Amino acid sequence: MRTPEELAIAYKEHQEADVHGLWIGSYIQDIVYGGNDGIVTTFAVVAGTMGADLPHYIIIILGLANLLADGTSMGTGAYLSKRSERDNYERLRKEELEEIEIDPEIEAEEVRQMYRKKGFEGKDLERAVEIITADKDRWAEVMLHEEHHMTKEASEKPVVHGLLTFISFAIFGAIPLIPYFIITSADSRFPVAIVSTFFALVLLGVAKSKIMREKIFRGPLEIVSVGALGAFVAYGVGVFLKSLVGVAM
C-alpha cells in the first residue's frame, strides 16, 4: 500500500506517461477523415482523368483545385460541425439549469436513478446525490453527461479541429499528385501515382495506429481497404465516361 505522498508521485507519473495514447488522439477523427478524403478524392481526379485519357496538365489543375477547394470545404465543415455541437451543448446546459431551478426534486431524482443503475445503494447513493446536487454547475454537467452523453471537452477548440482537417487533407491528398510534377515519362506517371496513393494510405494508417497505440497493422489494413475501394470506383467511372462520350461522338 502506497503512502499518500507516494501515491501522489505515482499519479503524476501516470498522467505524464500518456498511457492512453498521445494528446493528439482527441483529434484523430479529424486527421483520418481529412487525410483519407484527401487521398481518395485526389486519386479520384487522377484516376478519373487517366481513365478518360485526358492530358496530364488537366490532372495537375484539377488536383490542385481539389486540394484547395475540397480541403477548405472539409476544414470549414469540421469547424462548423464542432461549433454546432458546442452551441447545442450550451443550449442543453442552459435548459438543465432552468429545470434545476424550476423543479430541483425531480432533477435530483433523475440523478438518483442514474447512479442507482451504476450500482450505488443506500447511504452511498444518497451521499453521491447530495454531493452532485450541492453545486448547480456540477449538477448540470452530470445531467449533460449522463442524460445527453455530452461533455464540454468534446466540443472545444473548433478552430483546431477545422485546421487539422484541412492540413491532413492537403498533406496526404498531395501525395498522389507528386508524380505528375516530377516525372516526365507519360507512361510512368499513373503507375507511380498508384504506388504513391497506396503509400499515402499506409502512412495514414500507421499514423492512426501510432497515435491510438493499437496494433501497427490494424490502421493501414482498415484505411487501405477503404481507400482502395474509392480508387477503383474512380478509375472505373473515368473509363465508363470515356466510352460513353466516345459513343456519343
Question: Which three cell numbers, joined as nine digits, stand for 197?
Answer: 496513393
Residue 27 counted as domain residue: no
Residue 247 binned pLDDT confidence (cut-offs 50, 70, 90): very low
Domain with 58, as residue range(s), is 32-238
Closest CA to 39 of 159, 178, 161, 160: 178
pLDDT band for position 44 (50/70/90)? confident
> Residue 122: inside a domain, yes or no?
yes
Report residue 194 as a C-alpha cell.
498508384
pLDDT digits (tens, 9 = 90+) for 185-195: 878 888 888 88
Domain presence at residue 24? no
The count of domains in the chain is: 1
Task: Give yes or no for a contact between 54 and 241, defined as CB atoms under 8 angstroms apart.
Answer: no
Q: What is the pTM of this model?
A: 0.76
pLDDT at 137: 93
Structural domain contains residue 225: yes
Contact between 165 and 78 (Cβ < 8 Å): yes
Q: What is the DSSP letter of 120?
A: -
- Is position 226 within any domain? yes
In Å, how far are 70, 77, 82, 129, 224 from 203, measured between CA atoms?
Answer: 21, 24, 26, 48, 10
Would residue 247 count as lying in a domain?
no
Q: Is residue 200 in a domain?
A: yes
Residue 147 maps to a domain:
yes
So what's the pLDDT on residue 242? 66
